[in-house]
Amino acid sequence: MKSHNLHYFALVLSCIAYPRGVQLTPNGTLYDRIGPEHLHALLTRFYRCVGHDPLLAPLFPDDLGHTLEKQFAFMSGFLGGPPLYHQRFGHPRLRARHLPFPITPEHARAWLSCMKTALDETPQIERADAAEYYAALTKVALHMVNSPSAAQEPTSGEGQAR
């Protein structure tokens, strides 16, 4: 068989084996490995934690349903799946969208702690995938910090014009 025939044969085979498209990475993306159902379950647990966290809850609306769906749309694309957030809302401009909220390093730690709890409560996600996902989120969460630590804020009187 000529080599171009062989390539054609391989392409047809791969289309049968992978009806959603040819997989370029052997194990798929994190989105493929986690799957939309487990991702949704994870984020439901995450926002339950956020809603009960004394530091985070005051920043968020009382009804977290809408926030959850936006985050699910964002995370789908973030993990290499369908870019639902881009399609529905445009470019996320994540740091700019967080600027109205004063986010201190303590908020970022609380946010990540809720994500860690939610990952621990979702054992259907492989531990190696959970670790990879968490490491990626750590970087983004630190990037969202836009206010100094509460411990560093000037006490009354400090920083005033003399």
> Which residues bind to ligand HEM, rule: CB under 6 A?
56, 59-61, 66-67, 70-71, 74, 89, 92, 94, 97-98, 101, 103, 107-108, 111, 137, 140-141, 144
- Nearest distance from C-beta of residue 23 to ligand HEM, angstroms: 25
Number of Cβ within 10 Å of residue 11's Cβ equals: 10
Rank residues 22 and 136 by Cβ distance to ligand HEM and give the closer one: 136
Q: Give the CA distances from residue 11 to residues 1, 4, 111, in Å, rounded to whole numbers and listed in that order.
A: 15, 11, 44
Q: Considering only CA atoms, which of 160, 154, 119, 143 is closest in space to residue 30?
A: 119
Least separation in angstroms between CB 7 and ligand HEM: 39
Q: Are 147 and 104 in contact (CB under 8 A)?
A: yes
Residue 21 CB, shortest distance to ligand HEM, in Å, is 25
Report in angstroms how near the CB of residue 8 gets to ligand HEM at its nearest.
41
Q: Would you give the DSSP letter of residue 81?
A: S
Q: Which two tokens stand for residue 21?
A: 């498209």
